[in-house]
Amino acid sequence: MNGNNLKVWSAEFLGTFWLTFGGCGSAVLAAAFPQSGIGWLGVSLAFGLTVVTGAYAFGPISGGHFNPAVSLGLVTAGRLPLCRLPGYVISQVAGACVAGAVLYLIATGKPGAELGGFASNGFGEHSPGGYGMGAALLCEVVMTAIFLIVILGATAGRAHGGMAGLAIGLCLTLIHLVSIPVTNTSVNPARSTGVALFAPSWALGQLWLFWVAPLVGAVLGALIYRGLLAEAK
């Protein structure tokens, strides 16, 4: 292990911790109370804001992936060497799991705490809108593919690099606005894993979809960008 790798892994750990804690925390701690008034719009903004702030804080160190699907998509697009992928994914999943643990300790820190689904992702009876497995799978694939296309476009050499974090964060906000009713929005296997560990048992039983669909969508989005939209060499 060299110092540079440690810095990169630490940045991905902290960035994914912040995304999971901030985004899921808004759902578990604030949206659970109707008087807070944040609803799905507030949760969507919270996820977008974690990416914006995390990108500017940690992006210069690690690229600001905070998501195994994003890292895989960047490998597919030729932006990240394959040999670096395991370190990114392990750091991201670890950060999300620690965030889930901290959030659980806070959420259970009052008498009679009711956690519900603990911001987990689900389909069928565990979908906020009752959407089935096929709809959930398609939604997660499409949303993650679009997310990768936006990320690759916003960070391309022809783009205004200083605005990339804002564009990516706004994209994630929009993704949540569309897909919270379907799956409670994953597009990020680490985020899904971090809270599923502390949620009711059904969350772990359905977790496979929130690994498979985002990873497939990320590869698809990277291939579309690379084949149709990438800058000419």
d(CA 97, CA 191): 8
Q: What is the pLDDT of residue 161?
A: 64
d(CA 47, CA 26): 9
Which class is 3-229 in CATH? mainly alpha
The phi and psi torsions of 195 (rounded to 5 degrees) equal: -95, -25
The phi and psi torsions of 33 (rounded to 5 degrees) equal: -105, 110
Q: What is the pLDDT of residue 1?
A: 55
Integer CA distances (angstroms), 225 to 4, 52, 216, in order: 29, 22, 14
Q: Which of 148, 145, 146, 121 is nearest to 133 (CA)?
A: 121
d(CA 34, CA 139): 27
Q: What is the pLDDT of residue 230?
A: 80
Q: What is the pLDDT of residue 207?
A: 98
Owner of token pair 């944040």:
38
Q: What is the pLDDT of residue 232?
A: 57
Query: Rg for the chain (alpha carbons), in Å?
Result: 17
pLDDT tens track, the chain, 233 positions: 577 899 999 999 999 999 999 999 999 998 777 766 789 999 999 999 999 999 999 999 999 999 999 999 999 999 999 999 999 999 999 999 999 999 999 999 988 888 889 999 999 999 999 999 999 999 999 999 999 999 999 999 877 767 899 999 999 999 999 999 999 999 999 999 999 999 999 999 999 999 999 999 999 999 999 999 887 55
Q: What is the pLDDT of residue 162?
A: 78
Q: What is the pLDDT of residue 135?
A: 98
